[in-house]
Amino acid sequence: MSVLHSKKILLAVSAGIYIAAFLVRGLIKAGADVKVIMTPDAQHFVTPLTLSTLSKHPVEWEFFGDKGDWNNHVEYALWADYMIIAPCTANTLSHMADGTCDNLVLATYLSAKCPVYFAPAMDLDMYQHPTTKENIQQLVQNGNILIPAESGELASGLVGEGRMAEPEHIITFMEQHIASTLPLYGKKVVVSAGPTYENIDPVRFIGNYSSGKMGFEIAKEASRLGAKVTLVSGPSHESCHGYPIERINVISARDMYEAMHQQFTDADVVVMSAAVADYRPKEMATQKIKKNDEDMTIELVKNPDILKSLGEIKTNQLLVGFALETNNEEEFAKQKLAKKNLDFIVLNSMQDKEAGFQKNTNKITIIDKDLSLETFDAKSKADVAKDILNVVLKKL
């Protein structure tokens, strides 16, 4: 999933090449919500109807519409998560640098509180002119982000630097720049999720009711924060489709043990939210067991303790565990925290009606290794994931 997914992007088009339509289409394909404003002269190059059709929003270019209603530049500026001025002509560039405010695009730019990207587009000599260079430098000093012009054939027929960056290059530039500003950029986060199944015979298993919802939400939130995420999941119907998450599917506790240890060495953060079966049948029947007897005894053996084994080899990793308890919750959670060498533990209780397996909500208490407690209200698991990752960020 692109970091532009669900972001509100305001595209300001000045009187340059028609390629703006392709930029709108590319941003929408990346999942962004796009609104377009224009300078009055931009209509000579691309029609508002084209951009409106592509963006699914009205396109404005004047302070006052046909019915005399005011197009509020402040509302546009406050709406946007990001603003892009593309193409940014020499004229618009100059006005941005000196603070001139004589059209809707410039008024919106001067009101913007979000990051502003600008992609210059002009002829070769105009782009090389000292005044243009000074204007670009001034805009960068003011905190705007330059998407450099490219070399190629220009509208004049000359070939050289000044051509607006291709739409796909603009989108890639923005994605990479935005990702680099995210708090978990460059970090590897490994999350375990879901149950494990321990086979009794080819058709039966020992398991639990875990859906994997909590772990999947943690993985998705870590990805949104810029991390490289690996999700080790037991059998689960949950999905991380659309996110750049590496998913490793496992079945048993021993499968999960192997996968977690393979991913652990170069991890920065490991969140063990899976509900791992503590025991497995000592022997698995190779054929379906027939119900011939009134009673059946299955001998169980202990599964490897994945979280404890990771705590024993931990070096610089931030290691997070979960504790789902039915009684003496805090006492048992603190014991688990110390025994397994965790940085903090996420406690939820089966006594809370908002918590537990297969629910969309959770109610947690976080206990760190200094035994300080922070209790949160019941929330959706997506919001709980944000709370957990906020604590991760503080610990990092």
Q: Is a pLDDT exceeding 80 seen at residue 349?
A: no
Nearest alpha carbon to residue 357 among 224, 234, 204, 195: 195
pLDDT, position 71: 75
* pLDDT interval class at 193 (50, 70, 90): very high
* pLDDT interval class at 208 (50, 70, 90): confident
Q: What is the DSSP letter of 315?
A: S
* Helical residues (DSSP H) of 237-365, grouped into ranges: 253-264, 306-313, 329-339
Q: Three-class SS of residue 119?
A: strand
Enumerate residues 6+ apart whose C-beta is below 8 A from 332.
Answer: 323, 325
Q: Is a pLDDT exceeding 70 seen at residue 66?
A: no
User: Other C-beta atoms within 10 Å of 326: how many?
Assistant: 9
Average pLDDT, the chain: 92
For 370, the token pair is 């200094």
Rounded distance between C-alpha atoms, residue 295 and residue 142, angstroms:
78
For the entire predicted model, the pTM comes to 0.82
Of the two residues 357 and 165, the one the predictor is more confident about is: 165
Domains of the chain: residue spans and CATH: 8-181 (3.40.50.1950), 188-280+296-395 (3.40.50.10300)
Nearest alpha carbon to residue 123 among 96, 159, 93: 159
Averaged pLDDT for residues 303-308:
96
- Helical packing angle, 167-181 and 20-29, nearest 10°: 50
For 248, the token pair is 């490793």
Which amino acid would we find at residue 143?
A: G
Chain-centroid distance of CA 87 in Å reads 28
Place of tokens 């931030």: 318
Strands 159-163 and 150-153: antiparallel
Of the two residues 199 and 349, the one the predictor is more confident about is: 199
Strands 204-206 and 198-201: antiparallel
Nearest alpha carbon to residue 256 among 189, 191, 323, 338: 191
Contact 388, 394 (CB under 8 A): no
Rounded distance between C-alpha atoms, residue 87 and residue 100, angstroms:
18
Least confident of 50-64, 230-244, 282-296: 282-296
Averaged pLDDT for residues 246-273:
97
pLDDT, position 10: 97
What number of helices (H) and strands (E) belong to the chain?
A: 13, 21
pLDDT, position 284: 87
Q: Is a pLDDT exceeding 80 seen at residue 371?
A: yes
Q: Three-class SS of residue 147?
A: coil
Averaged pLDDT for residues 104-109:
96
pLDDT tens for each residue of 69-84: 677 899 999 999 999 9
pLDDT, position 343: 97
- Catalytic machinery residues: 208
Contact 319, 345 (CB under 8 A): no
